[in-house]
Amino acid sequence: MKYFSTRDKELKLSASEAILQGLSKDGGLFVPENFPKVTNKDIQMLTKKTYQEKASYILGLFLTDYTKEELDRVTSVYTKERFETDNIAPVYKLNSRTYFLELWHGPTCAFKDMALQALPHLLTYAAKKSGSGHEVVILTATSGDTGKAALEGFKDVEGTKIIVFYPEKGVSEIQKLQMVTQQGKNVGVCAVFGNFDDAQTGVKKIFTDLEYNKELNSKGYMLSSANSINFGRLAPQIVYYFSAYCDMLANEEISIGEQVNIVVPTGNFGNILAAYYAKLMGLPIARLICASNQNNVLTDFIQTGIYNKNRMFFTTASPSMDILISSNLERLLFNISGNDTSRTKLWMSELAENGKYQVPDITEKKIKELFWGGYCSDLDTALTIKDTFDAYNYVLDPHTAVGKNVYDQYLTETDDQTKTIIASTASPFKFAKFVSEAIGIDVKNKSEFEILQELSDVSSMRIPKPLQELNSLDIRFSCTKSKEELKSYVNEILS
Ligand SMILES: *Cc1c(COP(=O)(O)O)cnc(C)c1O
């Protein structure tokens, strides 16, 4: 299977080449030339397999230039030791039609671990296959969870370095502490003045600076991205939608072929795109429900066909969704427009120049058939956490609560009784202060760690070990740069 850019179909790459490059040189994103099909029979076969085996199977359909042995090594990261559960991504049944797919049992307590534990191994194999001998340098802009998950995935992985930039405004206290205390010999962490888009713009500029890239190559380095624009991030995310469906089949919650809805709290559009890709492959998915916080650019886009990022930016209680440019949407547009590179290029250049674009009616109609979009405020996020806790004794993190709230709106509007899986993207302990306040715990004058303890007492959930440990780690990184200065930090780390 070959991959090409959403902006140029001529240049075809293998999967490992696409993963190694991350972002195409023309600024486009790599997409597979077609989607492998999975039948109901295949799904029934997968139901009997472990998570690792399911992952090797699904990855094998896309990453055809990796050997079975290599993929088995890649998916061997999905262990009970790393994910604190045999299921890796367990499905929690809330009521007769609502299920949470818990994607936060990994080492950093958020769903990004699902892909970022596997990606370093996909990348190091890719580097070996390329034969260039270059050391892989991962550059990442993060709105919080990516950074830590990437750092954990790459730390001390031979032949790699990792540098993470996070927005000075817009990550939680715990998220920041997780990053600035990062261990490992091959890591760098630096804050960027501004918000996530500033950090992402700064990093994108380095990737598209051809001269600088040449200079790095001559020094034996090659830049790559661990952002959700890398296809090596997307592919492992497709796996858990199959795994959730299989688990529901095995528990006789659904019968084979029965359609389910998927709700995804969305930021960069990576997680929900993976669900869409699963649908294209044949997983019986009815509606994809795209949930946003106050930064509701995607809600407006789904409802009107107009993408417009010229608007107020809000720092919210669900910071990993505080995004005005959802990069992975480009892949959806490309697919929905029938692999039309010139259209995709046009929309993206309008976005870059004017901050907005409008898709034609036919595209808008297609998007509306597949997706339903909604958003909610921080206040409603808190109320959803409280209501869910009161009714079910189940604690949601703010991102997942946005998903639940938007799903409730969807039910009110459509009365659709289809069984529905809500992607649960972070442990509530990662956002303990907001969650505790929402369910009525008095947080005044309490330290982050006292709050963790109290939340644990009230909810009878165990504090995840990686969060508990933060208390005792030293701060290793304390720099802040403007988005124009990121290159100098890269040079600092590489020298
Ligand atoms: C990254 C993240 C999201 C958004 O996922 P995208 O793939 O960027 O849409 C949602 N919730 C949490 C907790 C995250 O870390």
Q: Which residues line ligand 1 (CB under 6 A)?
A: 110-112, 145, 228, 265-271, 320-321, 399, 425-426
Report the pLDDT value the prediction gives residue 171, as an integer from 0 to 100. 82
Beta bridge partners of 2: 14
Q: Which positions of the chain have pLDDT values less than 50?
A: none
Report the pLDDT value the prediction gives residue 225, as an integer from 0 to 100. 77
Report the pLDDT value the prediction gives residue 15, as an integer from 0 to 100. 98
DSSP strand E in 302-391: where? Answer: 306-308, 356-358, 371-375
Q: What is the atom index within ligand 1 of the atom nearest the CA of 149?
A: 15
Amino acid at position 282, single letter: G
Tokens encoding 356: 């907005």
| Alpha carbon nearest to ligand 1 atom 14, residue | 320
Query: How much distance in Å is there from the Cα of 369 to the middle of ligand 1?
Result: 23
Q: What is the atom index within ligand 1 of the atom nearest the CA of 111?
A: 15
Report the pLDDT value the prediction gives residue 200, as an integer from 0 to 100. 87
Substitution candidate for ligand 1 out of 108, 113, 268, 322 with most atoms within 8 A of CB:
268
Query: How much distance in Å is there from the Cα of 407 to the middle of ligand 1?
Result: 17
Report the pLDDT value the prediction gives residue 71, as an integer from 0 to 100. 98
| Distant-in-sequence, close-in-space partners of 6: CB < 8 Å, separation ≥ 6 | 24, 28, 29, 30, 31, 330, 331, 333, 334, 341, 344
Long-range contacts of 449-458 (CB under 8 A, 24+ apart): 455/395, 455/428, 455/429, 456/429
CB 451: neighbour CB atoms within 10 A?
A: 21
Cα–Cα separations (whole angstroms), residue 277 to 103, 193, 344, 347, 391: 18, 35, 18, 21, 34
Amino acid at position 145, single letter: D
Beta bridge partners of 4: 31
What's the pLDDT tens digit per position in 255-312? 999 999 999 999 999 999 999 999 999 999 999 999 999 999 999 999 999 999 999 9
**φ, ψ of residue 62 in degrees (nearest 5):** -100, -40
Report the pLDDT value the prediction gives residue 11, as an integer from 0 to 100. 84
Q: What is the atom index within ligand 1 of the atom nearest the CA of 144?
A: 15
pTM: 0.93
Gyration radius (Cα) of the chain, Å = 21
Q: What is the atom index within ligand 1 of the atom nearest the CA of 268?
A: 8
| CB neighbour burial string for 234-251, b if at least 16 within 10 angstroms, e if fewer | bbbbbbbbbbbbbbbbee
Tokens encoding 297: 């650019």
Tokens 């869409």, residue located: 276
Report the pLDDT value the prediction gives residue 22, as an integer from 0 to 100. 86
Report the pLDDT value the prediction gives residue 227, as an integer from 0 to 100. 75
Query: How much distance in Å is there from the Cα of 198 to the middle of ligand 1?
Result: 18
Substitution candidate for ligand 1 out of 320, 325, 329, 402 with most atoms within 8 A of CB:
320
H/E stretch holding 365 reads helix 361-370
Between CA 356 and CA 281 the distance in angstroms is 31
| Alpha carbon nearest to ligand 1 atom 1, residue | 320
What's the pLDDT tens digit per position in 185-235? 999 999 999 988 899 899 989 988 999 999 999 999 998 877 778 999 999
Report the pLDDT value the prediction gives residue 175, as an integer from 0 to 100. 83
Q: What is the atom index within ligand 1 of the atom nearest the CA of 271?
A: 7
Q: What is the atom index within ligand 1 of the atom nearest the CA of 145?
A: 15
- Give first-to-last CA distance, the chain, whole Å: 38
State the pairing for strand pair 187-192/371-375. unpaired
